[in-house]
Amino acid sequence: MNAVGIDISKGKSMVAVARPFGEVVSKPFEIKHTTHEIAALIEYLHTLDGDTRIVMEHTGRYYEPMARQLASADFFVSAVNPKLIKDYGNNSLRKVKTDKADALKIARYALDNWQDLCQYTSMDALRNQLKTLNQQFAFYTKQKTASKNNLIALLDMTFPGVNNLFDSHARDDGSQKWVDFAESFWHVDCIRSISLTAFTERYRKWCKRHGYNFQSNKPKEIYDNSKNLIAVFPKDALTKTLIKQSVTQLNAVSATVEHIRSQMNRIASELPEYPVVMSMYSVGASLGPQLMAEIGDISRFHRRENLTAFAGVDPGANQSGQYEAQSVHTSKHGSPRLRKTLFQIMECLVRTKPYDDPVYRFIDKKRAEGKPYFVCMTAGANKFLRIYFGKVKEYLASTAETE
């Protein structure tokens, strides 16, 4: 048997080939992620006698060009969690961290775990797109939050509390009523410097121009409130420019977030598990695609425990001799975006309190036992994933039988 260990990095990799009993077939050598050099590696690996298995770390997106090319050449390829390689012992007290040493370490790991290696299956185009979109969604959501906080900070200097004047939900294009209002009435003096009648007429025209419902009592409420506000920045061209630019930036990133959200839902709807996932309580058009994007193909997980470990919400264990810990932290070794999505789903359950939902009843049971908040939420996420695993597996099996 030939164990090929590949230490992946950006644009290049270090390759080592080992056999049982410490035999090194090929000392570590470097190849670049180009068609020519990968083809040369494939040609070399085909010359090896015996069964060959290739192992590399699942490092972001860097490993995918190598894994795809080798898998398409009919090799057994396994992409393992970097944590497994890190925790794998070298049987040495020396601490050596080089690409060559890591490549040999991965090869030895492959030999010791030969029977347990899972074969790499490249995600289909839809799952790959969905996962990439979810990464971009997370990035632009952070940008939206930062832009929103920046705008509120500026408005606190010109129109304090304007973001609390309206409670309307965001539109499909990401625009919000208070943001549009702040763009037109960017300073408190834009309101209190004129009469209530004049402001009422301006507000009515503003609602018509932006497509908002006009409430007859709202102008007076805003006008009376503006009389007691203190503006720090003066009403001048510079202040207006700062507010306008901040509004433009927030609207742009909000539109991007909503566009990505809609595209994620469209792509997720083409996946086979979409109906059963969307039928689960508190999983909607936003959280559902995020959940499917991070979990991926459920067939990768052979047991429920594999899925909860992947998400990093599996309960740990700490016992030695007479000592046994009563409370152990979860591993948190999996996808942080998946854990965030699960936490949002748990928050929705706690907020809506659906007593007919088994996950909420489980969370409520833990709270009744006096468990801390985050313990209850993590336990709920664990149970949710177990139910997710069972429902999706059962649904996909039933659809496969009917076909």
144: confidence class by pLDDT, cuts 50, 70, 90: very high
Q: What is the pLDDT of residue 324?
A: 59
Q: Where in the chain is the domain with CATH 3.30.420.10?
A: 2-122
Query: What is the average per-residue pLDDT within 215-221?
Result: 92
**CATH 1.10.287 residue ranges for the chain:** 129-267
> DSSP state, 116?
G
Q: Domain 129-267, what fold?
A: Helix Hairpins (1.10.287)
Q: Give the CATH architecture of domain 2-122.
A: 2-Layer Sandwich (3.30)
The answer to whether the beta carbons of residues 137 and 264 sit under 8 Å apart is yes
User: What does the pLDDT look like over 149-159, one tens digit per residue?
Assistant: 999 999 999 99
Q: Flag whether pLDDT at 370 surpasses 60.
A: yes
Report how far residue 55's alpha carbon sits from residue 261's, in angstroms, rounded to the nearest whole number: 35
For the stretch 170-186, pLDDT in tens is 888 899 999 999 999 99
DSSP 117-139: PPPP-PPPHHHHHHHHHHHHHHH
Q: What is the mean pLDDT of the chain?
A: 88
pLDDT tens-digit series, residues 226-275 = 999 999 999 999 999 999 999 999 999 999 999 999 999 999 999 999 99
Strands 12-19, 76-80: pairing kind: unpaired
Measured N-to-C along each axis, helices 373-402 and 336-352 cross at an angle, to the nearest 10 degrees, of 100
294, 338 in Cβ contact below 8 A? yes
pLDDT digits (tens, 9 = 90+) for 26-61: 889 999 988 899 999 999 998 888 889 999 988 777
Burial call 21-53: b when 16+ CB within 10 Å, e when fewer: eeeeebebeebebeeeebeebeeebeeeeeebb
Backbone angles phi, psi at 229, to 5 degrees: -90, 150
pLDDT surpassing 70 at residue 81? yes
* Residues 209-232, mean pLDDT to the nearest whole number: 92
Q: What pTM was estimated for this model as a whole?
A: 0.81
